[in-house]
Chains A and B, each alone.
Chain A
Amino acid sequence: MKILIVEDEPELSGSIASYLQHEQYRCETVLDFPEAKNKIIDFQYDCVIVDVGLPGGNGLELIKLIKSMKRNDGIIVISANSGLNDKLMGLNLGADDYLAKPFHLSELSARLNSVIRRRNFQGSSTFNFNELQVNIDDKTVLVHSKPLSLNKKELDLLLFLVANKNRVISKSAISEHLSQDESGYYRGYDVVYAHMKNLKKKLAEAGSKDYIKTIYGVGYKFECYEAAG
């Protein structure tokens, strides 16, 4: 999987590349508009992560370029401008997703997974691990082949954990992920605790093993080392 990261802040693009390399992505980073343009014209990527504010041009122009070349690269827009404009313009131009800075790398990684999965029509949108089966596209969960009833937030939480399986996800990232469709207020971790408790309880009651490990109060990890799905 080849990813192009177009971000003028080397520290940030370095972090992104470093995080994504663990997920078996091959990342290239470019720091300005002209260089990004050349890369996009010369090579094909599975996904391009593009910052809107770039030296030498607007990142949105790169989306237009990719679209004009009738290419199938996935596109994720990242922007420091959290206003609706960048988001709407980016998505209207054909970007697959949008993230406002600052974002958690686990969130970016989850979005990237989903963009690539959708782009490649891989069909394998099911995560199987021992007794647990998670159908990512139709959002159903089966334990021992029996459907498990989860509410929207619990399902969201499980999908997020699965998307970042075998890596620690911070409470901070989970809290943000769960409240992304809510406006406004700073809510703290109560939501995370409550949903995590319920999810674990429901999984346990259905006969699933406890794969969700608490990591020193800083986050959680979905562990599935033996036979990665």
Chain B
Amino acid sequence: MKLLDKTVRNLLGYAVVVLLISIPVFYFIIEELYYQDVDDALRLKKKELIIRTHSLKNEHDMRLWLGMDQEVRMYPLPKGDVSGDTIYPKLYLDTLDKEMEPYRELRTTLTINDKTYLTTIRRSLVESQDLIVGIAEAQAILLILLFGGWIIINRQTSRRIWLPFERIIEWLKDYEMGKNPQSGIPSSGISEFDTLNEVVNDLIQKNHGIFTQQKNFIENASHEMQTPVAILQSKLDLLVVSEGLTAEQARYIQSQYEAIERLNHLNKSLLLLSQIENHQFEETSSVSVENLTNKILGHLEEAIHDKQISVNTVITVDKILQGNPMLIEICLSNLLSNAVNHTPEKGTIEIILDENILRIRNSGQPLGFSEKVLFTRFGKDKASKHGVGLGLAIVRQITDLMKLSVDYTYIADNHQFTIRF
């Protein structure tokens, strides 16, 4: 849930609760206030009645007077039966509408000319009800407007306030390790976000620095290693041509050569990986996968022949790749050499190429280690005699760079690598 929705949702919930409670409460309060007002009026009327009735001298006057005021009724009571005032709601039939209408009524006893009368004074509430409903409605509209406006304004303000935050998020999303990061976003004028911006910016610059350093470190280390290796190798070259070389010395020299070759290969592979990461292979051109495959198979001819491997190439259509020719060659060369190296004697290699995939399949025993580590650097526990454990990591790095995918499956006693274009 978005932060904005979360705050608005809470506000909206509160507004709804307040509205639902306040409208009936408000209605009852207004009604109560109005009743009090009516009741006050009734009491006033009673006082007025007491004063007015002093001037009434006989029964006739009274009937006449009562006939003029529909609101007041009097009923004679036995003398001395005096009770206090009570006010209550009561329904009366409206003679015109034939409907029961609500009234407030004050019941009291009045003494006129020494006679006691039960007196009721009533007042219609018909108009007042309309008024109360009207007031309640106006109030409800007002409240809805108030809350609605509040939420809308809050939402818009929040959106504006959070804008710099979202820009920071966008900026972080776009950030890629290794790419030169743009330095932050312009100041938003909100100190919290400016601080966040600064902190994130610092962090990214620092990370970028470390990353660059790390990348350059591998490259520099590889380069720096070339010179001592070159010295070692040159001394071996001198030893091997020196006079009086014995068989024993030759054996030691040979194993040193082999160790140096391994070191050299390792070094070159690391350097290659770091150069790919550093995007040092910008040059691209069209590369025919078919021609390249045939060229590499040509290089591998002796090994294929030696191990009596049968190679079956099924090319439906030649695929032309756009990319760095050297990298593509290294990639295919690693996969094909791998296949040749790991195929047992008299095994088979099948190469399938069409518009969408290049599949290299070779017979052989299952891996003996997790597929997950296949493409990782030095993933295998034991380095094989064929390489230093970086061949497939290089393949993965190159396919990643070219936005291709490579996967491995083991089906029916066959190792199968598939590159999808």
CB atoms of A19 and B333 under 8 A apart: no
Q: How far is the CB of A80 from chain B (nearest CB, A)?
A: 4
| B386-A216 in contact (CB<8A) | no
Chain B residues within 8 Å of A167, by CB: 241
Q: A183-B333, A184-B334 are in contact. Are A12 and B234 (CB under 8 A)?
A: yes
Is there an interface contact between B303 and A102, defined as CB atoms closer than 8 Å? no
Complex CA distance for A183 and B264, rounded to whole angstroms: 14
Contact A218 B226 (CB under 8 A): no
Any B CB within 8 A of the CB of A182? yes
Task: Please indicate the chain B residues that have their CB under 8 angstroms from the CB of A185 in the complex.
Answer: 333-334, 337-338, 387, 391
Residue among A171, A173, A190, A218 making CB contact with B303, cutoff 8 Å? A190
- B236 CB to closest chain A CB, in angstroms? 7
Contact of A186 among B232, B234, B235, B261 (CB under 8 A): B261
Complex-state Cα separation, A188 to B224, whole angstroms: 25
- Interchain CA distance A143-B261 in the complex, whole Å: 35
> Are the CB atoms of A183 and B237 closer together than 8 Å?
no
* Chain A CB within 8 A of B233 CB: yes
A101 touches B230 (CB 8 A): yes
A217: chain B residues within 8 A (beta carbon): 250-251, 254
Decide if A15 touches B234 in the complex (CB within 8 Å): yes
Which residues of chain A from 147 to 201 have any CB-CB distance to chain B below 8 Å in the complex?
167-168, 170-173, 175, 179, 182-188, 190-191, 194-195
What 0/1 readout, one digit per residue, does chain A (76-88) give for beta carbons within 8 Å of chain B? 0000111110000
> Is B229 interfacial (CB 8 A cutoff)?
yes
Q: Are A101 and B387 in contact (CB under 8 A)?
A: no
Q: Which of B224, B234, B275 has the most CB of A within 10 A?
A: B234
Q: Given that A82-B226, A184-B337, A188-B386 are contacting pairs, would A15 and B238 also be in contact in the complex, using a CB cutoff of 8 Å? A: yes
Binds B, one of A31-39, A66-74, A103-111: A103-111
Q: Roughly how many angstroms separate A218 CA and B258 CA in the complex, as a whole number?
A: 10
Contacts of A82 in B (CB 8 A): 226, 268, 271
Known: A82-B271, A218-B251. A15 touches B235 (CB 8 A): yes
Residues of B within 8 A of A89 (CB): none
A-facing residues in B249-297 (Cβ within 8 Å)? 250-251, 253-254, 257-258, 260-262, 264-265, 268, 271, 275, 280, 296
B230, B237, B238, B329: the one within 8 Å of A80 (CB): B230
Q: How distant is the Cα of A100 from the Cα of B227 in the complex, in angstroms? A: 10
Contacts of B236 in A (CB 8 A): 170
Please count how many residues in chain B sit with their CB below 8 Å of the partner chain's CB atoms.
Answer: 53
CA distance A197 to B229 in the complex (A): 30
- Nearest CB of B to A25, in Å: 14
Contact with A along B377-416 (1 / 0, CB 8 A): 0000000011110010010000000000000000000000
Give the chain B neighbours of A22 by CB distance below 8 A.
Answer: 241
Whole-angstrom distance between the alpha carbons of A170 and B245 in the complex? 13
Interface residues on A, range: 35 or more
Bound-state Cα–Cα, A19 to B93, Å? 134
Whether B250 lies near A80 (C-beta < 8 A) is no
Q: Which residue among B227, B237, B264, B337 has the maximum number of chain A CB atoms within 10 Å of its CB?
A: B237
CA distance A161 to B138 in the complex (A): 108
Pick from B229, B231, B246: contact of A15, CB under 8 Å? B231
Assess whether A171 is in contact with B254, with CB atoms less than 8 Å apart.
yes
Do A182 and B258 have beta carbons less than 8 Å apart?
A: no
A182-B299 contact in complex given A19-B234, A170-B236, C-beta closer than 8 Å: yes
Q: How far is the CA of A22 from the CA of B241 in the complex (A)?
A: 10
Residue of A nearest to B223 (CB): A80
Which residue on chain B has the smallest CB distance to residue A176?
B261
A11 within 8 A of B: yes
Q: Is A131 positioned at the interface, with any CB of B under 8 Å from its CB?
A: no
* Beta-carbon contact of B240 and A194 below 8 Å: no
Bound CA span A9–B261, Å: 21
Complex contact A191–B250 (CB within 8 A): no
Q: Are A184 and B329 in contact (CB-based, < 8 A)? A: yes
Chain B residues within 8 Å of A194, by CB: 302-303, 305-306
Find out whether the CB atom of A12 lies under 8 angstroms from the CB atom of B257: no
A9–B265 Cα distance when bound, in Å, is: 22
Q: Is the CB of B240 within 8 A of A218?
A: yes
Bound Cα distance from A19 to B306, whole angstroms: 36
**Residue of B whose beta carbon sits closest to that of A99:** B230
Instruction: Specify the chain B residue showing the minimal Cβ separation from A172.
Output: B257
Asked if residues A103 and B230 are in contact (CB atoms below 8 Å), the reply is yes
Residues on A with beta carbons closer than 8 Å to the beta carbon of B261: 172, 175, 186
Distance (Å) between the CB of A141 and the closest chain B CB? 20
Q: Least Cβ distance of A20 to chain B in Å?
A: 11
A215 within 8 A of B: yes
Say yes or no for A219: interface residue by CB 8 A criterion. yes
Q: Is B247 interfacial (CB 8 A cutoff)?
A: yes
Knowing that A80-B227, A175-B261 touch, tell me 17 more A-B residue pairs with CB under 8 angstroms: A9-B227, A15-B237, A15-B238, A19-B237, A19-B238, A19-B241, A102-B232, A170-B253, A171-B257, A183-B329, A183-B330, A185-B337, A190-B302, A194-B306, A215-B240, A215-B250, A216-B245
Q: Which 6 pairs across A and B sit closest by C-beta, in order of nearness?
A: A216-B250, A15-B234, A102-B230, A194-B302, A105-B237, A80-B226
